[in-house]
Amino acid sequence: MARRILVTGGAGFIGSHVAEQFALDGWQVRVLDNLSRAKLLKKPDKNASFNWDHLSRLPGVELIKGSVTDWETVRQAAADCQVIVHAAAQTAVTTSVTDPRPDFENNIVGTFNVLEAARAQSVKPALVFCSTNKVYGENVNGVGLSEGEKRWSFESSMARGIPETFPIDHCEHTPYGVSKLTGDLYMQDYAHLYGLKIGVFRMSCIYGTRQFGLEDQGWVAWFTIASMLGKPITIFGDGKQVRDVLYVEDLVGAYRAFLDSPINHAVYNMGGGPDFTMSLHELLDILKAKTGITPALSYADWRPSDQKVYISNIDKAKAALGWKPTVTPEQGVAKLIDWVGENKNLFA
Protein backbone atom coordinates (compact mmCIF):
# COMPACT_ATOMS: atom_id res chain seq x y z
CA MET A 1 0.00 0.00 0.00
CA ALA A 2 1.31 3.45 -0.89
CA ARG A 3 2.46 5.61 1.96
CA ARG A 4 0.18 8.59 2.55
CA ILE A 5 0.86 11.95 4.18
CA LEU A 6 -1.48 14.82 5.07
CA VAL A 7 0.01 18.31 4.89
CA THR A 8 -2.23 20.92 6.48
CA GLY A 9 -1.55 24.37 5.13
CA GLY A 10 -0.04 22.56 2.20
CA ALA A 11 -0.52 25.46 -0.21
CA GLY A 12 1.51 27.74 2.04
CA PHE A 13 5.22 28.35 1.84
CA ILE A 14 6.54 25.60 4.11
CA GLY A 15 3.66 23.22 3.49
CA SER A 16 4.06 23.34 -0.28
CA HIS A 17 7.73 22.37 -0.03
CA VAL A 18 6.88 19.47 2.30
CA ALA A 19 4.14 18.29 -0.06
CA GLU A 20 6.37 18.61 -3.12
CA GLN A 21 9.25 16.66 -1.61
CA PHE A 22 7.09 13.79 -0.39
CA ALA A 23 5.26 13.62 -3.72
CA LEU A 24 8.54 13.46 -5.63
CA ASP A 25 9.62 10.65 -3.30
CA GLY A 26 6.58 8.58 -4.29
CA TRP A 27 4.20 9.27 -1.42
CA GLN A 28 0.47 9.86 -1.85
CA VAL A 29 0.04 13.42 -0.63
CA ARG A 30 -3.12 15.06 0.68
CA VAL A 31 -2.99 18.83 0.88
CA LEU A 32 -5.54 20.57 3.09
CA ASP A 33 -5.71 24.35 2.72
CA ASN A 34 -8.44 26.98 2.69
CA LEU A 35 -6.36 29.50 0.68
CA SER A 36 -7.19 32.17 3.25
CA ARG A 37 -3.77 33.76 3.46
CA ALA A 38 -4.37 36.21 0.60
CA LYS A 39 -7.59 37.52 2.13
CA LEU A 40 -6.22 37.65 5.66
CA LEU A 41 -3.18 39.63 4.59
CA LYS A 42 -4.99 41.59 1.86
CA LYS A 43 -3.02 40.14 -1.05
CA PRO A 44 -4.19 39.10 -4.53
CA ASP A 45 -5.78 35.67 -5.01
CA LYS A 46 -3.09 34.78 -7.54
CA ASN A 47 -0.58 34.62 -4.68
CA ALA A 48 -2.76 32.22 -2.69
CA SER A 49 -3.32 29.94 -5.66
CA PHE A 50 0.26 29.86 -6.97
CA ASN A 51 1.45 26.99 -4.76
CA TRP A 52 -1.91 25.22 -5.11
CA ASP A 53 -1.54 25.24 -8.90
CA HIS A 54 2.10 24.15 -8.63
CA LEU A 55 1.17 21.13 -6.51
CA SER A 56 -1.73 20.21 -8.79
CA ARG A 57 0.80 19.35 -11.48
CA LEU A 58 2.69 16.85 -9.32
CA PRO A 59 1.93 13.11 -9.34
CA GLY A 60 0.09 11.64 -6.38
CA VAL A 61 -1.17 14.94 -4.94
CA GLU A 62 -4.78 15.26 -3.77
CA LEU A 63 -5.94 18.82 -3.09
CA ILE A 64 -8.65 19.44 -0.50
CA LYS A 65 -9.95 22.96 -0.06
CA GLY A 66 -11.02 23.28 3.55
CA SER A 67 -10.10 24.60 6.97
CA VAL A 68 -8.43 22.93 9.92
CA THR A 69 -11.04 24.65 12.08
CA ASP A 70 -13.67 22.25 10.67
CA TRP A 71 -13.48 18.96 12.56
CA GLU A 72 -15.16 16.75 9.99
CA THR A 73 -12.93 18.05 7.19
CA VAL A 74 -9.81 17.31 9.21
CA ARG A 75 -11.04 13.88 10.29
CA GLN A 76 -11.67 12.81 6.72
CA ALA A 77 -8.42 14.28 5.41
CA ALA A 78 -6.36 12.48 8.05
CA ALA A 79 -7.89 9.04 7.44
CA ASP A 80 -5.37 6.34 6.54
CA CYS A 81 -2.38 8.71 6.67
CA GLN A 82 0.88 7.45 8.12
CA VAL A 83 2.24 10.99 8.58
CA ILE A 84 0.68 14.39 9.27
CA VAL A 85 2.70 17.59 8.92
CA HIS A 86 0.68 20.36 10.56
CA ALA A 87 1.76 23.59 8.89
CA ALA A 88 -1.64 25.34 8.73
CA ALA A 89 -1.64 28.48 10.84
CA GLN A 90 -2.20 32.17 11.06
CA THR A 91 1.45 33.20 10.83
CA ALA A 92 1.70 37.00 11.16
CA VAL A 93 2.48 38.55 14.56
CA THR A 94 1.05 41.96 13.69
CA THR A 95 -2.15 40.42 12.34
CA SER A 96 -2.62 38.49 15.58
CA VAL A 97 -2.49 41.75 17.54
CA THR A 98 -5.02 43.60 15.37
CA ASP A 99 -7.37 40.62 14.83
CA PRO A 100 -6.74 37.84 17.37
CA ARG A 101 -9.82 35.68 16.67
CA PRO A 102 -8.59 34.02 13.42
CA ASP A 103 -5.28 33.47 15.17
CA PHE A 104 -6.98 31.62 18.03
CA GLU A 105 -9.29 29.61 15.79
CA ASN A 106 -6.60 28.48 13.33
CA ASN A 107 -3.68 27.99 15.68
CA ILE A 108 -5.45 26.50 18.70
CA VAL A 109 -8.72 24.95 17.51
CA GLY A 110 -7.09 23.81 14.27
CA THR A 111 -4.22 22.12 16.09
CA PHE A 112 -6.61 20.39 18.49
CA ASN A 113 -8.61 19.04 15.54
CA VAL A 114 -5.46 17.64 13.95
CA LEU A 115 -4.45 15.91 17.17
CA GLU A 116 -7.89 14.43 17.69
CA ALA A 117 -7.97 13.19 14.10
CA ALA A 118 -4.65 11.45 14.68
CA ARG A 119 -5.74 9.98 18.00
CA ALA A 120 -8.95 8.61 16.49
CA GLN A 121 -7.14 6.34 14.03
CA SER A 122 -6.52 2.69 14.83
CA VAL A 123 -2.98 2.99 13.44
CA LYS A 124 -1.68 6.26 14.80
CA PRO A 125 0.16 8.54 12.35
CA ALA A 126 3.40 10.31 13.17
CA LEU A 127 3.11 14.10 13.41
CA VAL A 128 5.35 17.06 12.76
CA PHE A 129 4.23 20.37 14.26
CA CYS A 130 5.42 23.72 12.93
CA SER A 131 5.97 25.70 16.12
CA THR A 132 7.91 28.94 16.46
CA ASN A 133 10.62 30.74 18.38
CA LYS A 134 7.89 33.15 19.51
CA VAL A 135 6.98 30.62 22.24
CA TYR A 136 9.90 32.11 24.21
CA GLY A 137 8.39 35.58 24.02
CA GLU A 138 10.18 38.58 25.42
CA ASN A 139 12.33 36.40 27.70
CA VAL A 140 14.77 36.35 24.79
CA ASN A 141 15.25 40.09 25.24
CA GLY A 142 16.57 39.41 28.74
CA VAL A 143 19.70 37.81 27.31
CA GLY A 144 22.67 40.17 27.41
CA LEU A 145 23.64 41.75 24.10
CA SER A 146 26.58 43.49 22.54
CA GLU A 147 26.15 46.03 19.73
CA GLY A 148 28.22 46.04 16.57
CA GLU A 149 28.22 48.27 13.53
CA LYS A 150 25.52 46.29 11.70
CA ARG A 151 24.24 43.74 14.20
CA TRP A 152 23.39 42.87 17.76
CA SER A 153 24.96 39.73 19.23
CA PHE A 154 24.14 37.48 22.19
CA GLU A 155 26.51 37.50 25.14
CA SER A 156 28.97 34.61 25.30
CA SER A 157 26.76 32.40 27.50
CA MET A 158 24.26 32.17 24.64
CA ALA A 159 26.77 32.11 21.80
CA ARG A 160 25.37 28.74 20.60
CA GLY A 161 21.84 30.16 20.61
CA ILE A 162 18.61 29.64 22.55
CA PRO A 163 18.20 26.02 23.79
CA GLU A 164 14.94 24.10 24.10
CA THR A 165 15.12 24.49 27.90
CA PHE A 166 14.89 28.29 27.72
CA PRO A 167 11.98 29.64 29.87
CA ILE A 168 8.66 30.38 28.20
CA ASP A 169 6.72 31.88 31.15
CA HIS A 170 6.21 35.33 32.72
CA CYS A 171 6.58 37.43 29.61
CA GLU A 172 4.66 38.94 26.72
CA HIS A 173 4.20 36.68 23.69
CA THR A 174 1.56 38.45 21.53
CA PRO A 175 -1.57 36.46 20.62
CA TYR A 176 0.40 34.69 17.89
CA GLY A 177 3.04 33.49 20.32
CA VAL A 178 0.39 32.40 22.83
CA SER A 179 -1.62 30.48 20.24
CA LYS A 180 1.43 28.69 18.86
CA LEU A 181 2.67 27.89 22.37
CA THR A 182 -0.74 26.41 23.18
CA GLY A 183 -0.51 24.14 20.14
CA ASP A 184 3.10 23.31 21.03
CA LEU A 185 2.09 22.18 24.53
CA TYR A 186 -0.93 20.23 23.26
CA MET A 187 1.36 18.36 20.87
CA GLN A 188 3.73 17.48 23.69
CA ASP A 189 0.89 16.34 25.94
CA TYR A 190 -0.69 14.12 23.28
CA ALA A 191 2.68 12.47 22.73
CA HIS A 192 2.96 11.70 26.43
CA LEU A 193 -0.69 10.79 27.09
CA TYR A 194 -1.54 8.86 23.95
CA GLY A 195 1.81 7.60 22.72
CA LEU A 196 1.80 9.53 19.44
CA LYS A 197 5.10 10.04 17.63
CA ILE A 198 5.36 13.83 17.50
CA GLY A 199 8.19 16.17 16.58
CA VAL A 200 7.72 19.79 17.64
CA PHE A 201 9.92 22.15 15.64
CA ARG A 202 10.27 25.64 17.11
CA MET A 203 11.32 27.45 14.00
CA SER A 204 13.34 30.58 13.61
CA CYS A 205 13.53 32.36 10.24
CA ILE A 206 12.65 29.93 7.42
CA TYR A 207 12.96 31.33 3.92
CA GLY A 208 13.06 30.23 0.29
CA THR A 209 11.25 30.07 -3.01
CA ARG A 210 7.44 30.28 -3.20
CA GLN A 211 7.42 32.49 -0.11
CA PHE A 212 5.20 35.54 -0.52
CA GLY A 213 6.88 37.63 2.16
CA LEU A 214 5.17 40.69 3.57
CA GLU A 215 6.18 43.55 5.80
CA ASP A 216 4.91 41.77 8.92
CA GLN A 217 5.94 38.21 8.05
CA GLY A 218 8.71 36.59 6.02
CA TRP A 219 11.28 39.38 6.11
CA VAL A 220 13.96 37.73 3.95
CA ALA A 221 11.48 37.19 1.12
CA TRP A 222 9.90 40.61 1.64
CA PHE A 223 13.22 42.47 1.45
CA THR A 224 14.10 40.50 -1.69
CA ILE A 225 10.75 41.15 -3.37
CA ALA A 226 10.69 44.83 -2.44
CA SER A 227 14.27 45.40 -3.58
CA MET A 228 13.76 43.77 -6.96
CA LEU A 229 10.47 45.59 -7.61
CA GLY A 230 11.73 48.98 -6.50
CA LYS A 231 9.42 49.18 -3.50
CA PRO A 232 10.36 51.10 -0.33
CA ILE A 233 11.27 49.13 2.80
CA THR A 234 10.40 50.11 6.35
CA ILE A 235 12.79 48.89 9.03
CA PHE A 236 11.12 48.51 12.41
CA GLY A 237 13.78 49.16 15.03
CA ASP A 238 17.39 49.86 14.13
CA GLY A 239 18.00 47.20 11.46
CA LYS A 240 20.65 45.49 13.58
CA GLN A 241 18.30 42.77 14.77
CA VAL A 242 19.63 39.30 13.94
CA ARG A 243 18.00 35.98 13.12
CA ASP A 244 19.41 32.61 12.26
CA VAL A 245 18.08 31.72 8.81
CA LEU A 246 17.28 28.28 7.41
CA TYR A 247 16.56 27.52 3.77
CA VAL A 248 13.28 25.67 3.43
CA GLU A 249 14.74 22.53 1.82
CA ASP A 250 17.01 22.09 4.84
CA LEU A 251 13.93 22.35 7.07
CA VAL A 252 12.16 19.57 5.15
CA GLY A 253 15.32 17.50 5.61
CA ALA A 254 15.04 17.90 9.36
CA TYR A 255 11.40 16.78 9.30
CA ARG A 256 12.35 13.72 7.28
CA ALA A 257 15.20 12.90 9.64
CA PHE A 258 12.82 12.92 12.62
CA LEU A 259 10.18 10.85 10.85
CA ASP A 260 12.81 8.27 9.83
CA SER A 261 14.27 8.11 13.35
CA PRO A 262 13.22 5.81 16.21
CA ILE A 263 12.60 8.89 18.41
CA ASN A 264 9.01 8.92 19.65
CA HIS A 265 8.74 12.50 20.85
CA ALA A 266 11.01 15.52 20.95
CA VAL A 267 11.09 19.30 20.79
CA TYR A 268 13.72 20.90 18.56
CA ASN A 269 14.75 24.51 18.13
CA MET A 270 15.09 24.76 14.38
CA GLY A 271 16.96 27.29 12.28
CA GLY A 272 20.30 27.94 10.71
CA GLY A 273 21.99 28.09 14.12
CA PRO A 274 24.90 30.36 15.02
CA ASP A 275 26.75 29.72 11.75
CA PHE A 276 23.90 30.91 9.47
CA THR A 277 22.75 34.29 10.74
CA MET A 278 21.89 37.68 9.24
CA SER A 279 20.88 41.11 10.44
CA LEU A 280 18.48 43.21 8.40
CA HIS A 281 21.35 45.44 7.29
CA GLU A 282 23.44 42.42 6.31
CA LEU A 283 20.63 41.04 4.14
CA LEU A 284 20.40 44.40 2.37
CA ASP A 285 24.16 44.21 1.76
CA ILE A 286 23.80 40.73 0.22
CA LEU A 287 20.94 41.90 -1.99
CA LYS A 288 22.89 44.93 -3.16
CA ALA A 289 25.94 42.79 -3.95
CA LYS A 290 23.87 40.31 -5.98
CA THR A 291 21.44 42.69 -7.71
CA GLY A 292 23.08 46.13 -7.59
CA ILE A 293 19.87 47.54 -6.08
CA THR A 294 19.73 49.89 -3.10
CA PRO A 295 16.08 50.21 -1.98
CA ALA A 296 14.62 53.33 -0.36
CA LEU A 297 14.61 52.84 3.42
CA SER A 298 12.64 54.39 6.26
CA TYR A 299 12.60 53.58 9.97
CA ALA A 300 9.77 53.07 12.46
CA ASP A 301 9.37 52.03 16.09
CA TRP A 302 10.00 48.49 17.27
CA ARG A 303 6.96 46.21 17.00
CA PRO A 304 5.36 44.30 19.93
CA SER A 305 7.55 41.49 21.28
CA ASP A 306 10.18 41.94 18.57
CA GLN A 307 13.43 40.27 19.57
CA LYS A 308 16.71 42.11 18.90
CA VAL A 309 18.45 38.77 18.49
CA TYR A 310 17.10 35.28 18.09
CA ILE A 311 19.45 32.43 17.25
CA SER A 312 18.45 28.78 17.58
CA ASN A 313 20.70 26.37 19.38
CA ILE A 314 20.42 23.46 16.96
CA ASP A 315 22.88 21.15 18.72
CA LYS A 316 20.09 18.82 19.88
CA ALA A 317 18.69 18.35 16.37
CA LYS A 318 22.15 17.86 14.89
CA ALA A 319 23.11 15.21 17.46
CA ALA A 320 19.81 13.33 17.61
CA LEU A 321 18.85 13.41 13.93
CA GLY A 322 22.20 13.40 12.18
CA TRP A 323 21.08 16.57 10.42
CA LYS A 324 22.64 19.93 9.74
CA PRO A 325 21.83 22.93 7.54
CA THR A 326 23.66 23.00 4.23
CA VAL A 327 22.44 26.06 2.29
CA THR A 328 24.33 29.20 3.32
CA PRO A 329 22.48 32.53 3.57
CA GLU A 330 24.26 33.79 0.43
CA GLN A 331 23.26 30.66 -1.51
CA GLY A 332 19.69 30.74 -0.26
CA VAL A 333 19.18 34.42 -1.01
CA ALA A 334 20.56 33.84 -4.53
CA LYS A 335 17.93 31.12 -5.08
CA LEU A 336 15.24 33.48 -3.82
CA ILE A 337 16.44 36.27 -6.11
CA ASP A 338 16.22 33.94 -9.10
CA TRP A 339 12.68 32.87 -8.19
CA VAL A 340 11.44 36.43 -7.68
CA GLY A 341 13.06 37.44 -10.97
CA GLU A 342 11.22 34.65 -12.79
CA ASN A 343 7.84 35.54 -11.23
CA LYS A 344 7.73 39.34 -11.00
CA ASN A 345 4.17 39.33 -12.31
CA LEU A 346 3.02 37.75 -9.05
CA PHE A 347 4.07 40.79 -7.06
CA ALA A 348 2.80 43.60 -9.29
Which tens digit of pLDDT belongs to each residue from 198-227? 999 999 999 999 999 888 789 999 999 999
Strands 265-270 and 233-236, how do they pair?
unpaired
Start-to-end CA span in the chain (Å): 45
Tell me the residue type at 44: P
Catalytic residue among 136, 176, 207, 268: 176
Tell me the residue type at 56: S
Adjacent-strand bridge partners of 245: 205
Which tens digit of pLDDT belongs to each residue from 2-24? 799 999 999 999 999 999 999 99
**Catalytic-residue membership of 207:** no
**CATH H-level superfamily of 4-347:** NAD(P)-binding Rossmann-like Domain (3.40.50.720)
Dihedral, CA of residue 302, residue 205, residue 129 and residue 61, to nearest 10: 120
When pLDDT is cut at 50, 70 and 90, the band that residue 262 belongs to is: very high
Q: What is the mean predicted confidence (pLDDT) over 260-264? A: 98
For residues 184-204, one letter each, b for 16 or more C-beta atoms within 10 angstroms of the residue's C-beta and e for the rest, the string is bebbbebbeeeebbbbbbbbb
When pLDDT is cut at 50, 70 and 90, the band that residue 110 belongs to is: very high
Which tens digit of pLDDT belongs to each residue from 56-97? 999 999 999 999 999 999 999 999 999 999 999 988 788 888
The rounded mean pLDDT for the chain is 94
pTM, full prediction: 0.95
H or E element, residue 259? helix 248-260
Shortest CA distance to 10 belongs to which of 44, 43, 74, 55?
A: 55
Per domain, the residue ranges of the chain are: 4-347
Q: How many CB atoms lie within 10 A of CB 268?
A: 26
